[in-house]
């Protein structure tokens, strides 16, 4: 990246956040701190009103905006790719907002870039495993992620009408701390006042959501990262397993115990948390060579041992016959 492009990218970066540390820009642009200081000074000399706070970082004075910047072909393509994930892995509220954003992006593209996106559109697809549905769940609104995002940032109490895993409809007030995607669904992590503890709510099982506008105070809630660290510490008996499956072998089989899935084209990488290596090994045998264990080594060894036992067993059977 030449210096002119870097200065432009730096200015956009500065406008993207309330305050930006020099170390953050050095890491992003792979330059030294000394070069960051020199580039920021160059922007200031060019008339950009940049302020700084000792020990915190740089900021662009409120009210200054860079004139509209054209997207590159690669940037527009990246947005199109992101849109494919949004289409398959979010709810109606996010899909609607992203579609509106894409229209605005396309509006500032030149004809060549627009043609590039139109040609690319039909050549990209995202595979997403179907969600595990329960009776009546298809009638749920499934459009609350945007509302949940607002409540998380505003730290507001939210009222839920929720269908639990036991197909019991409950009403409860919760204090949201974040959103998390796993097992083909978005989950709201929140402190539940009814249960007096942290709970995991699948967003597509929420029948009704109301942001009360009332801030929750008086409790130091965990961050989302702290919540998951605590969860894994409390489940130290669980073992992480990572397996790559060929999609053609799946036939819509559910991934019980999976916590994440990564699309690899004609394959899919699945991460599990399991409590039995022996059970997992026997389950994986049904996939034969269509599944490849990445970790742990103990599971690979167990599958090999079971396979050898079966081979020896049927060798004896054939010999006896």
The one-digit pLDDT tens for each residue of the chain (321 residues) are: 788 888 988 988 888 788 999 999 999 999 999 999 999 999 999 888 999 988 889 998 887 776 656 777 888 888 889 999 898 889 999 999 998 888 878 877 777 888 888 888 888 888 766 555 555 556 678 899 999 999 999 999 999 999 876 567 889 999 999 998 876 788 999 999 998 888 889 898 899 999 999 998 767 788 888 887 777 666 666 788 999 999 887 765 556 567 777 888 888 888 887 878 888 999 899 899 999 999 999 999 999 999 999 999 988 888 876
This prediction has a pTM of: 0.60
Take residue 184 and report the two structure tokens written for it.
């083909």
- Contacts by 116-125 with C-beta closer than 8 Å and gap 24+? 116/73, 116/76, 116/77, 117/76, 117/77, 117/80, 120/77, 120/80, 121/80, 124/80, 124/81, 124/84, 125/84
Element (H, E) at 191: strand 185-192
Q: Please state whether 257 falls in left (phi above 0), alpha (psi between -120 and 50) or beta.
A: left
Which residues, listed in sequence order, are joined to residue 170 by a DSSP beta bridge? 162
- Cα–Cα distance, 293 to 189 (Å, whole number): 30
Element (H, E) at 262: strand 258-263
Number of residues that this document lists for the chain: 321
Nearest by Cα to 173 from 226, 213, 230, 224 = 213
Nearest by Cα to 86 from 75, 78, 94, 74 = 94
What is the CB neighbour count within 10 angstroms for residue 266? 9
Nearest by Cα to 216 from 147, 144, 145, 159 = 159
């Amino acid at each position: 990246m030449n210096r002119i492009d870097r200065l432009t990218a730096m200015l956009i970066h500065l406008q993207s956040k309330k305050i930006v540390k020099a170390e953050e820009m050095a890491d992003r642009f792979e330059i030294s701190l000394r070069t960051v200081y020199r580039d920021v000074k160059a922007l200031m000399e060019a008339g950009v009103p940049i302020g700084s706070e000792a020990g915190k970082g740089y900021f662009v004075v409120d009210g200054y905006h860079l004139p509209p910047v054209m997207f590159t072909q690669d940037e527009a393509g990246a947005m199109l790719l992101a849109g494919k994930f949004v289409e398959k892995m979010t709810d109606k509220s996010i899909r609607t907002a992203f579609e509106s954003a894409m229209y605005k992006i396309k509006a500032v593209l030149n004809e060549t870039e627009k043609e590039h996106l139109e040609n690319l559109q039909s050549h990209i697809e995202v595979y997403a495993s179907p969600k595990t549905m329960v009776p009546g769940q298809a009638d749920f609104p499934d459009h609350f992620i945007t509302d949940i995002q607002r409540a998380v940032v505003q730290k507001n109490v939210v009222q839920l009408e929720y269908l639990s895993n036991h197909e019991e409809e409950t009403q409860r007030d919760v204090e949201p701390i974040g959103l998390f995607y796993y097992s083909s669904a978005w989950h709201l992590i929140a402190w539940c006042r009814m249960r007096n503890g942290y709970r995991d709510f699948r967003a597509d099982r929420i029948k009704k959501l109301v942001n009360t506008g009332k801030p929750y105070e008086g409790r130091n809630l965990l961050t989302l990262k702290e919540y998951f660290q605590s969860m894994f510490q409390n489940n130290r008996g669980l073992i992480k397993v990572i397996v790559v499956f060929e999609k053609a072998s799946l036939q819509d089989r559910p991934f019980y115990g999976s916590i994440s899935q990564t699309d690899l084209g004609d394959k899919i990488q699945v991460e599990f948390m399991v409590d039995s290596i022996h059970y997992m090994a026997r389950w994986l045998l049904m996939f034969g060579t269509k599944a490849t264990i990445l970790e742990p080594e103990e599971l690979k060894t167990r599958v090999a041992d079971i396979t050898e036992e079966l081979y020896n067993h049927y060798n004896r059977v054939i010999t006896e016959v």
